[in-house]
């Protein structure tokens, strides 16, 4: 497949995931989160596979780093789905879930901007892209901290509903 086609499909999957994430709220929002993040993960794996096929392993690893906090979040909401459905969770859960959505979309935006640079798909030029790559890692660390906070909220802060 051509680079522009793959990037367009990747971007389309990310946008679809963002729309799904932003439209579902309430007791069954965990289903919307799973579906929306599944679209985002599919897009990220598509672009990571493309980058790795070009022998650009570092860029592929950057793509996969975005997926790790999302996968852990999906495991959390699958594990604690009964608490979420029954409303036996703190209101902070929804706050940090929304923060994670924002950080995930920000990471994808940064990755998309990196991919607009045609040199990045052929060879990583650290001197030219280092600030953007470091920003991507920083947002990844913030995403991980946010997911760990959601874990603490779901594990230790239950309510009577």
Measured CA to CA, the distance from residue 134 to residue 35 in angstroms comes to 29
Residue 129's contacts (CB-CB under 8 Å, 6 or more residues apart) are 114, 117, 120
Enter the tokens of residue 45: 């794996």
Place of tokens 């946010």: 146
Output the pLDDT for position 122.
Answer: 58
For residue 45, the model assigns a pLDDT of 80
For residues 100 and 78, is the Cβ–Cβ distance under 8 A? no
Report the share of the chain in percent with pLDDT over 90.
12
Residue 35 tokens read as: 């579906």
pLDDT tier for residue 99 given thresholds of 50, 70 and 90 = very high
pLDDT of residue 145: 95
Q: What angle do CA 161, 147, 51 make, to 5 degrees?
A: 140
State the pLDDT at residue 59: 65
pLDDT at 34 > cutoff 60: yes
- pLDDT value, residue 104: 87
pLDDT (tens digit per residue) in 38-85: 888 888 888 777 777 776 666 667 777 788 898 898 889 889 888 888
């Amino acid at each position: 497949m051509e680079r522009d086609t793959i990037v367009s499909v990747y971007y389309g999957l990310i946008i679809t995931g963002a729309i799904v994430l932003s439209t579902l709220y309430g007791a069954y929002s965990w289903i919307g989160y799973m579906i929306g993040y599944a679209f985002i993960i599919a897009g990220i794996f598509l672009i990571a596979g493309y980058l790795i096929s070009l022998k650009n392993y570092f860029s592929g690893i950057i793509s996969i780093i975005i997926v790790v906090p999302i996968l852990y979040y999906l495991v959390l909401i699958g594990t604690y789905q009964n608490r979420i459905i029954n409303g036996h969770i703190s209101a902070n859960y929804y706050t940090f879930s929304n923060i994670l959505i924002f950080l995930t979309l920000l990471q994808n935006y940064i990755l998309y901007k990196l991919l607009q640079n045609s040199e990045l798909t052929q060879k990583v030029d650290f001197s030219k892209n280092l600030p953007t790559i470091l920003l991507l890692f920083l947002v990844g660390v913030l995403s991980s901290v946010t997911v760990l906070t959601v874990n603490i909220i779901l594990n230790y802060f239950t309510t009577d509903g």
